[in-house]
């Protein structure tokens, strides 16, 4: 199936204040969209709308030409959402957290070990996550990308608590995902200069909000 994400006339208010309106764009296989804007411009809300976690909006989110509200189970299987929170069980180790996710994703134990090594946390793999730093916990979350095969990835500030040196394996993973026809929508306060990937930008809170450059 030729997957495609389309936003039509997307509009959202918060406390009677307009966050954004008139968003019209298409994201096709192999494309990365950088969602930019100042704090409070609605970047996280936009990703949460697409992920089905925020329902107070007007307009349409279409997947393969059909409104996602009419095909939610199928669309949910096709997306991966990584938000601000690490979404880890604090008492479980990195290996145990990833092992559970790998079982859901149909990935092997070897894939988990390879992902932990790629993100530089293999030596900490058997420690409870509550003993790890914020940066190490973020690396565990990002390790999921190494064996995730959903076509649409929604990544909200994926590089939080990661130093620039730690970007490389994640950027390589994004590059491979795009090369096999995947799609990415992401926010990052680091900007895109340090992420060497072709991309378009959707600037929220500006006249260009209506379309992606």
Q: What is the pLDDT of residues 75-106, one digit of tens each?
A: 999 999 999 888 899 999 999 999 999 998 88
What residues form DSSP beta bridges with 61?
7
Distance CA 172, CA 168 (A): 6
**pLDDT over 90 at 18, yes or no:** no
Identify which has the larger pLDDT, 212 or 48: 48
**79-82 and 152-156: which strand pairing?**
parallel
Distance CA 21, CA 12 (A): 6
The tens digit of pLDDT for each residue in 126-161 reads: 999 999 999 999 999 999 999 999 999 999 999 988
pTM of the model: 0.92
The tens digit of pLDDT for each residue in 41-61 reads: 999 999 999 999 998 999 999
* Beta strand spans in the chain (E): 5-14, 17-27, 32-36, 58-63, 66-67, 79-82, 152-156, 183-187, 200-203
Identify which has the larger pLDDT, 63 or 87: 63
Q: Name the region of 106 (left: φ>0; alpha: ψ -120 to 50; beta: rest).
A: left
Residue 142 pLDDT: 95
- Report whether 108 contacts 102 (CB < 8 A): yes
The residues near 17 (Cβ < 8 Å, ≥ 6 apart) are none
Mean pLDDT of 58-79: 95
Confidence of residue 182 (pLDDT cuts 50, 70, 90): very high
Residue 208 pLDDT: 45
Q: How many residues does the chain have?
A: 213
């Amino acid at each position: 199936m030729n997957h495609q994400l389309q936003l039509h006339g997307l509009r959202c208010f918060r406390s009677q204040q307009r966050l954004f309106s008139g968003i019209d764009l298409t994201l096709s296989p192999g494309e990365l969209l950088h969602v930019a804007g100042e704090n409070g411009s609605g970047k996280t809300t936009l990703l949460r709308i697409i992920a089905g976690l925020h329902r107070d909006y007007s307009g349409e989110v279409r997947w393969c030409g059909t409104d996602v509200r009419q095909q939610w189970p199928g669309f949910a299987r096709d997306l991966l959402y990584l938000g601000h929170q690490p979404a880890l069980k604090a008492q479980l180790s990195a290996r145990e957290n990833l092992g559970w996710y790998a079982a859901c994703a149909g990935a092997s134990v070897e894939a988990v070990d390879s992902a932990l090594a790629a993100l530089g946390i293999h030596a900490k793999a058997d420690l409870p996550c509550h003993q790890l730093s914020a940066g190490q916990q973020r690396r565990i979350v990002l390790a999921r990308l190494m064996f995730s095969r959903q076509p649409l990835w929604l990544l909200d500030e994926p590089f939080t608590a990661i130093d620039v040196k730690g970007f490389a394996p994640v950027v390589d993973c994004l590059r491979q995902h795009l090369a096999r026809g995947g799609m990415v929508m992401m926010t990052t306060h680091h900007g895109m200069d340090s992420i060497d990937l072709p991309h378009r930008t959707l600037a929220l809170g500006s006249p260009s909000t209506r379309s992606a450059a």
